[in-house]
C-alpha cells in the first residue's frame, strides 16, 4: 500500500532530521537550505516498510514559507505533527496543525523530537502541551512517540507505529479523473520536461494523452517513476514523477495541474463552504482580499460571503463565493486554505462545492444557500449530485463534457449517475445534451403555448413554421434540445410535425360558410382558367367580389390550396391547378417520344399547351427548375 506522509511543525523542531533518520535521505535539496540550516521549500523522501511504502513530504516550518508548506500539504494521507521536546508547542506548530485540520487530514501521530535534550519530567509536560493542542481533533487519540534523530532512540518504534497506522488507512476512492497538482518541474538531459507531485486521484499510464491546466497544453506521458523506479502505471496516493512530451520545462510551474485530456476546465469563481478559525482576529467579510491555497497553487482573490450579514465570525462555518484573480483547477470536495492578504496568516479553510459557479447577486442568496445545502446533503449519492448540478444549467442543458468538468468524475461514474437519472425520468437525454426534467417540461409547455397562440392568430394556417418556432423560444438554446422537445411532444401525440410545419395534433381547419364559399369560388376561377390563369391579385379580387369577405381572408384560403398541393406556384403572379400541370407534363413527354432529338422550342411549346408567350416562358422556366426540361440554347431538352 502506498501512502503519503507529510511533516508539520515549527521551524527548527527537527522535521528534516526526522525524515533523514527514518529514510536516510536529506530532504533539503538546495544549497541555501544547507547553508542556513532551515528548510525553505518542500522536500521528498521514501521509506519501504514492507507492507507499506511511504512517500514523505517534508515541509518548511518558518512562517515566511507557509505558502510552500501548503503546496506540500495537499494530497497527504497522514501527518507527523513534529514538536521539539525542548521547546514544546510554538506558533507554527499551531498554524500547521490548524492547516492539517482544515484540510481534513484524517490520520496522523505526534512525534516529540530531540528527546535526548530533556528529562522525563519535561517530556511529560510537552506531551500534555501537545494533548491540549489537539483536543477534540483528528489527532486527539493519536499515538505520541518520542524520538531522537541524533541518537536514533525511538526511530524503530516510530517505524512500527507508522506501519500499524498505515494498515488502517483506507484506500483512496478512485472516482475522479487523473489529477496531479504539480509541485516541482525540471528538465533531464535526453528526456526533457519532468513534473512531480502527489497523484491525488485517478491513474496515469505510459503514452497517456494528458493536458497541463489552466493553460490547456496538450502533452503525452513518455515515462513514469514512483519511489524512484520506472513504472508503467501510477495510481492515486503515489508520489509520481512524469516525463512529458510536447512541452518545455520552462513552460511549467508549481500550481499547474496535470490532468486527463479534455476532462477538467480552469475557473476563476467557485462556491464553497468554509470554517473561520476560532482564534481569528476578525470576521471574514465580503470584498475581503485573501490568498487561496488549492492543491499546489496560491491565488489571490476576493470573498463574497453568502449570508445576509455578509460576514462570517471567528469559529463559524458558512458559504462563500471566491472570485480569483487567476484561473485555477479544482473539483467539488477538494479542500483549500484561506490566508489573509496581509499580514499573511491562516484564517480559514474549506471545501469546494461548485467549481463552475456564476457570479451571485445579493437578491439570489436565499436560493444559492438552498442549492449549496442540497449539494452537501447529496454527498455520496452521485445520481442526486448530478441532477442538482444539471438543474443549474436550466433549459440550455449540459453536455457530458460540461458535467465531467464540473464534477471531476471519471467517465464511467458520470455515465452511471446520468443513466440512473434518465431511467427514473429525472433527467432527459436530448441528443448530445442532458436537461433536468423540470426545465425540459417548461420548454414543452412554452412550445405548446406558442403553437396555440399561432393557431389563434392564424386559424386557417396549417401550422407554424418550424424555424419560426425555434427562433421564438430556442434562439439561444442548442438545436439538439429543440429537436428533442418536438420529438417528445410528437411521442406524447400533442403535436404533429410535417416537414417544415408544426401544429397541435388536435388542430383542424374548420371553415365558416363564408370561407367555404370563398374556397369554392377560388377553385372555380382556376379550374375554368385552365392554363390561362389570372394574376393572383386579380383572382383574389374576383373571389371576394360581391361578398363580405376581405382580401386577407381570401389570401389565407388560397394558402390552403398551396398547403394541400392543389395549386402549384409557378411565379409570384401565376399559379396553376395541379391537374392542368400534370396533364401538360404528359403532353410534353408524348411530344418527346415522337421527336428524335427530344427538343422543343418556345413556339412549339405554345402550340402544344395552347397558350400565349406570357404563360409559356414562366411554365418552361418552372419545368427547368423541376427538371422536367433542360435549356439547350434556344430550345428545351425534354428529360
Catalytic sites, residue numbers: 12, 15-16, 62
Asked if 267 and 297 touch (Cβ cutoff 8 Å), the reply is: no
Give 354's contacts (C-beta < 8 A, 6+ positions apart).
270, 271, 332, 372, 375, 389, 392, 406
Radius of gyration of the chain, Cα coordinates, nearest whole angstrom: 38
In whole angstroms, give the CA distance from residue 457 to residue 461: 9
Residue 250 class from Cβ within 10 Å (0-12 exposed, 13-18 middle, 19+ buried)? exposed
| CA–CA distances in Å: residue 455 to residues 462, 465, 504 | 8, 12, 8
116: left (phi over 0), alpha (psi -120 to 50) or beta: alpha
Q: Report which of 175, 223, 227 is spatially closest to residue 200, judged by C-alpha positions.
A: 175
What's the rounded Cα separation, in Å, for the pair 256 and 329? 8
SS3 62: coil
Helix H or strand E segment including 66: helix 66-73
b/e burial code for range 180-197 (CB count within 10 A of at least 16 → b): bbbbbbeeeeeebbbbbb
Are 233 and 224 in contact by the 8 Å Cβ rule? The answer is yes
Q: Pull the grid cell for residue 342.
A: 496581509
**CA diameter of the chain:** 128
| Interatomic CA distance for residues 557 and 459, integer angstroms | 11
Amino acid at each position: 500500500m502506498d501512502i503519503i506522509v507529510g511533516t508539520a511543525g515549527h521551524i527548527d523542531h527537527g522535521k528534516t532530521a526526522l525524515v533523514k533518520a527514518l529514510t536516510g535521505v536529506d530532504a533539503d535539496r538546495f544549497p541555501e537550505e544547507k547553508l542556513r540550516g532551515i528548510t525553505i521549500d518542500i522536500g521528498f523522501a521514501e521509506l519501504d516498510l514492507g507492507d507499506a511504502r511511504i512517500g514523505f513530504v517534508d515541509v518548511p516550518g518558518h512562517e515566511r514559507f507557509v505558502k510552500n508548506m501548503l503546496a506540500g500539504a495537499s494530497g497527504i494521507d497522514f501527518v507527523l505533527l513534529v514538536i521539539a521536546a525542548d521547546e514544546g508547542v510554538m506558533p507554527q506548530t499551531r498554524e500547521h496543525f490548524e492547516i492539517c485540520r482544515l484540510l481534513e487530514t484524517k490520520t496522523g501521530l505526534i512525534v516529540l523530537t530531540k528527546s535526548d535534550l530533556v528529562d522525563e519530567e519535561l517530556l511529560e509536560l510537552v506531551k500534555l502541551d501537545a494533548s491540549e493542542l489537539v483536543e477534540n481533533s483528528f489527532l486527539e487519540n493519536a499515538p505520541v512517540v518520542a524520538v531522537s534523530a541524533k541518537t536514533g532512540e525511538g526511530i524503530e518504534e516510530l517505524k512500527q507505529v507508522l506501519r500499524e497506522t498505515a494498515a488502517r488507512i483506507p484506500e483512496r476512492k478512485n472516482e475522479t479523473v487523473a489529477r496531479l497538482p504539480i509541485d516541482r518541474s525540471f528538465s533531464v538531459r535526453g528526456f526533457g520536461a519532468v513534473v512531480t507531485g502527489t497523484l491525488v486521484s485517478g491513474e496515469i499510464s505510459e503514452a497517456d494523452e494528458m493536458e497541463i491546466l489552466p493553460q490547456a497544453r496538450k502533452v503525452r506521458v513518455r515515462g513514469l517513476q514512483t519511489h524512484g523506479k520506472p513504472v508503467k502505471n501510477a495510481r492515486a496516493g503515489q508520489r509520481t514523477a512524469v516525463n512529458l512530451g510536447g512541452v518545455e520545462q520552462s513552460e511549467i510551474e508549481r500550481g499547474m495541474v496535470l490532468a486527463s485530456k479534455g476532462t477538467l476546465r480552469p475557473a476563476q469563481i467557485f462556491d464553497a463552504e468554509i470554517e473561520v478559525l476560532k482564534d481569528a482576529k476578525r470576521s471574514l467579510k465580503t470584498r475581503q482580499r485573501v490568498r487561496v491555497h488549492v492543491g499546489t497553487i496560491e491565488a489571490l482573490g476576493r470573498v463574497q460571503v453568502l449570508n445576509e450579514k455578509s460576514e462570517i465570525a471567528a469559529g463559524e462555518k458558512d458559504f462563500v463565493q471566491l472570485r480569483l484573480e487567476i484561473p485555477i483547477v479544482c473539483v467539488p470536495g477538494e479542500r483549500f486554505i484561506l490566508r489573509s492578504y496581509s499580514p499573511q496568516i491562516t484564517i480559514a479553510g474549506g471545501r469546494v462545492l461548485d467549481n463552475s459557479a456564476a457570479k451571485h447577486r445579493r437578491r439570489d442568496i436565499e436560493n444559492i444557500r438552498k442549492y449549496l445545502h442540497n449539494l452537501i446533503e447529496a454527498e455520496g449519492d452521485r445520481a442526486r449530485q448530478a441532477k442538482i448540478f444539471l438543474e443549474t444549467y436550466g433549459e440550455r442543458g449540459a453536455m457530458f463534457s460540461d458535467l465531467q468538468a464540473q464534477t471531476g468524475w471519471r467517465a464511467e461514474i458520470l455515465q452511471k449517475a446520468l443513466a440512473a437519472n434518465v431511467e427514473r425520468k429525472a433527467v432527459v437525454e436530448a441528443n448530445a445534451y442532458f436537461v433536468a426534467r423540470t426545465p425540459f417540461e417548461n420548454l414543452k409547455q412554452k412550445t405548446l403555448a406558442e403553437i396555440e397562440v399561432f393557431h389563434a392568430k392564424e386559424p386557417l394556417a396549417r401550422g407554424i413554421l418550424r424555424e419560426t418556432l425555434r427562433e421564438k423560444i430556442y434562439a439561444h438554446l442548442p438545436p439538439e434540445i429543440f429537436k428533442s422537445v418536438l420529438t417528445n411532444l410528437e411521442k406524447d401525440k400533442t403535436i404533429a410535425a410535417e416537414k417544415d410545419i408544426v401544429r397541435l395534433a388536435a388542430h383542424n381547419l374548420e371553415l365558416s360558410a363564408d370561407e367555404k364559399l370563398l374556397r369554392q369560388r377560388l377553385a372555380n376561377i382556376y379550374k375554368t382558367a385552365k392554363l390561362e390563369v389570372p394574376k393572383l391579385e386579380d383572382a383574389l379580387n374576383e373571389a371576394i367580389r360581391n361578398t363580405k369577405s376581405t382580401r386577407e381572408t381570401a389570401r389565407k384560403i388560397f394558402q390552403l390550396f398551396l398547403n394541400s398541393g392543389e395549386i402549384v406556384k409557378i411565379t409570384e403572379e401565376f399559379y396553376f391547378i395541379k391537374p392542368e400541370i400534370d396533364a401538360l407534363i404528359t403532353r410534353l413527354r408524348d411530344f418527346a417520344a415522337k421527336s428524335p432529338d427530344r427538343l422543343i422550342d418556345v413556339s412549339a411549346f405554345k402550340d402544344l399547351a395552347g397558350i400565349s408567350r406570357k404563360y409559356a416562358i414562366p411554365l418552361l422556366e418552372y419545368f427547368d427548375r423541376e427538371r422536367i426540361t433542360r435549356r439547350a440554347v434556344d430550345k428545351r431538352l425534354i428529360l
